Chains A and B, each alone.
Chain A
Amino acid sequence: MEFGYEFILEEKKEVSGSDLGLLQEKLLQLNWGVQHPASGPMRLKVWIDGDEVVKVDPDIGYVLRLLEKLVEYRNWINAIVNVERACFIDNFGTMAGYSIAAEKIAGIEVPKKADYMRVILCEGGRIVSHLLGLGGFVGVLGVHTPSQWALVAREKFLDAFEVYSGQRIATSSIIPGGVRYEPTGKFIEKMVEAIDYLEKEFIPRYEEVFIDNPTLKLRSVGVGVVPKEKAVELGLAGPALRASGVASDIRKDYPYAAYGDFEFKVVTREEGDSYARYCVLFDEIKESAKIIRQAIEGFPEGEYRTKFPIKLPKGEAYVNVEWARGCFGFHLISNGGTGPYRLKMRAPSFANLWAMPEIMKGVKLADVPVIFASLYMCHGDIDR
Chain B
Amino acid sequence: MLEDVKKKVDELFGFKTESYDTNMLLIFGEKEKIRDLLKFLKDFGFSYPHTISVVDYTPEGRGFEINYILEDIYIKKFVIVRIELSENNLAVPSVSDIFPALQPHEREAWEMFGVEFVGNPRLEVMLLPEWAEGTFPLRKSYQFKKHRKGTK
Say if the beta carbon of A45 comes within 8 Å of chain B.
Answer: no
Taking CB atoms, residues of chain B closer than 8 Å to A342 are 55-56
B126 with A318: CB separation less than 8 A: no
Complex formed: what's the CA distance from A353 to B104 in Å? 10
The residues of A that contact B54 with a CB separation of less than 8 Å are 344
- Do the beta carbons of A66 and B76 come within 8 Å of each other? no
Q: Is the CB of A355 within 8 A of B101?
A: yes
* Nearest A residue (CB) for B127: A61
> Which residues of chain B from 12 to 42 have any CB-CB distance to chain A below 8 Å in the complex?
20-24
Give B14 Cβ to nearest chain A Cβ, in Å: 24
Stretch in B1-9, B44-52, B83-91 touching the partner = B44-52
Given A254-B76, A346-B50, A61-B101 contact (CB < 8 Å): no
Q: Which residues of A contact B73 (CB under 8 A)?
A: 232, 246, 248
Query: From B22, which residue of chain A is reached at the shortest CB distance?
Result: A254
Any A CB within 8 A of the CB of B43 = no
Query: Is B137 in contact with chain A by the CB < 8 A criterion?
Result: yes
Which A residues contact B (CB, under 8 angstroms)? 60-61, 64, 66, 68-69, 104, 232-235, 246, 248, 253-254, 317-318, 320, 327, 329, 331, 333, 335, 341-342, 344, 346, 350-351, 353-355, 383
- For the complex, what is the distance from the CA of A232 to the CA of B60, rounded to whole Å? 37
Contacts of B49 in A (CB 8 A): 235
Of the residues B22, B50, B126, B128, contact of A327 by C-beta under 8 Å: B50
Q: A232-B73, A317-B21 are in contact. Are A66 and B137 (CB under 8 A)?
A: yes
Given contacts A60-B127, A327-B50, 11 further A-B contacts (CB under 8 A): A61-B129, A69-B137, A104-B21, A232-B48, A235-B101, A331-B67, A331-B69, A342-B55, A344-B51, A344-B54, A354-B103
Closest to A254 in B: B23
Known: A60-B127, A66-B137, A233-B100. A329 touches B56 (CB 8 A): no
CA distance A329 to B49 in the complex (A): 12
Q: List 9 A-B contacts (CB under 8 A).
A: A61-B127, A246-B73, A254-B22, A318-B21, A318-B78, A331-B69, A335-B60, A344-B51, A351-B101
- Distance in angstroms from B91 CB to nearest chain A CB is 20
Known: A235-B101, A346-B51. A318 touches B69 (CB 8 A): yes
Give A355 to B102 CA distance when docked, in angstroms.
10
Q: CA A235 – CA B100 in complex, angstroms?
A: 9
Point out the residue from A327, A344, A354 that lies within 8 Å of B104, measured CB to CB.
Answer: A354
B123 at the interface (CB under 8 A from A): no
Q: Which secondary structure dominates where chain A touches chain B?
A: mixed
What residues on B are CB-neighbors of A234 within 8 Å? 100-101
Q: How close is A280's CB to chain B, nearest CB, in angstroms?
A: 16
A168 CB to closest chain B CB, in angstroms?
29
Q: When the two chains form their complex, are residues A331 and B104 in contact, meaning their CB atoms are under 8 A apart?
A: no
Q: B108's closest neighbor in chain A, by CB?
A: A350
Interface-central residue, B53, B99, B100, by most chain A CB under 10 Å = B53
- Give bound CA distance, A90 to B22, whole Å: 27
Chain A residues near B104 (CB, 8 Å)?
A: 350, 353-354
B92 contacts A by Cβ under 8 Å? no
Instruction: Note all chain A residues with C-beta closer than 8 A to B69.
Output: 318, 329, 331, 346
- The answer on a CB contact under 8 Å between A318 and B80 is yes
Give chain B's interface residues, CB within 8 Å of chain A: 20-24, 47-51, 53-56, 60, 67, 69, 73, 76, 78, 80, 99-105, 126-129, 137-138, 142
Residues of A within 8 A of B99 (CB): 235
Output the least CB separation between B82 and chain A (Å). Answer: 10
Q: For residue A346, which residues in chain B have a CB less than 8 angstroms away from its CB?
A: 50-51, 53, 69
Q: Which residues of B contact A354 (CB under 8 A)?
A: 101, 103-104
| Residues of the B chain whose Cβ atoms lie less than 8 Å from the Cβ of A248 | 48, 73
Give A355 to B104 CA distance when docked, in angstroms: 10
| Cα–Cα, bound, A322→B142 (Å) | 32
Inter-chain contacts of B128 with A (CB < 8 A): 61, 64
**CA separation between A276 and B124, bound complex, in Å?**
34
When distances are taken between beta carbons in the complex, the residues of chain B under 8 Å from A344 are: 51, 53-55
A61 touches B50 (CB 8 A): no
CB–CB B20/A318 < 8 A: yes
Give the residues in chain A near B23, CB-CB below 8 Å: 254
Taking CB atoms, residues of chain A closer than 8 Å to B21 are: 104, 317-318
Give the shortest distance, in Å, between B74 (CB) and chain A (any CB): 8
Min CB distance B70 to A, Å, is: 10
Measured CB to CB, the closest approach of chain B to A311, in angstroms, equals 17
Cα distance, A64 to B23, chains bound together (Å): 33
- CB of B28 to closest CB in A, whole Å: 14
- Within the complex, the shortest CB–CB distance from A169 to chain B, in Å, comes to 24
Q: A329-B69, A350-B104, A354-B104 are in contact. Are A383 and B127 (CB under 8 A)?
A: yes
Please provide the 3 A-B residue pairs with the shortest distance between their CB atoms, ordered closest to farther.
A235-B101, A344-B53, A346-B51
How many angstroms from the CA of A351 to the CA of B24 in the assembled complex?
21
